[in-house]
Amino acid sequence: MTFLETAWDGLKHLLGVKDNKAALRAIFEPVAIVLVTFASTTAIAQPFYVPSGSMQPTLAIGDAFVAAKYPYGYSRYSVPFGIGPAAKGRLLQTMPQQGDVVVFRLPRDPSQTYIKRVIGLPGDRVQMIDGRLWINGKELSLASDGQGKDEAEDGTITDAPRFVETLPNGVKHPIYKWGWDGPGDNTRLFIVPAGHMFMMGDNRDNSLDSRWSEEQQGVGFVPVENLVGRAEFVVGSYDFLNAHAFWTWIGEFRLSRVFNGVK
């Protein structure tokens, strides 16, 4: 008996099978499952989790959502762990639209994954003046929309002023806005470079985004290459910040958020 035959018999013994077909099935079935899972999370969709309140009221702390990979094409960041060569463009590239909620790798630290709303595309001029967003020299429409529930990172929930903002392409989306003279309410004029995007959080006074540069430990302009996918819908939501006593744990599941679209 050759070394390979001895090794094969030993492997069958470890797998608890006797014939060759059963051994091959025992080996290749889990391999196939891994390959299908890898392919689906690379090419189709991937689940993510929201750890902060920067995208409230659109996404709550504790939301689990699915991001579609295919809308913008593919780059090295479409692959788990960012495996692959760097490139300025994307395979089958399509640019996002203003108002899309996207997942991307943080330019200054690609190991970190962020989610924000696309506000500016290449060539756009973006500025905050007295807490109002201006794009290409025009102040965006902002309509009062009552009150919302803003959850802080310590679990405290506070009534927050809610507004609906209308982007130049007609997309309407909600924001929380507490004041009009905070650190991010009066900025310089940003001109979005080619191949980049300008991102902002919907919780305008509690979002570290493109209003702050990489040198300020912010987001800065985001290269198109860094896109991971477009947020599509919430698949689960749990208010872990307020799940203190074990008998309250079940009540912290937010079933009303499940299958909500991300818009």
Catalytic center residues: 54, 116
Cβ–Cβ contacts within 10 Å for residue 257, how many? Answer: 20
Pairwise CA distance, residues 63 & 256, whole Å:
11
Q: Spell out where 35-183 has E strands.
A: 45-49, 63-68, 101-106, 109-120, 125-129, 132-135, 138-139, 141-151, 157-166, 172-176
Radius of gyration in angstroms for the set of CA atoms belonging to the chain, rounded to a whole number:
23
Judge whether 128 and 187 are in contact, CB under 8 Å. Answer: yes
Measured in whole angstroms, the distance separating CA 120 from the mean position of its chain's CA atoms is 17
Pairwise CA distance, residues 124 & 134, whole Å:
10
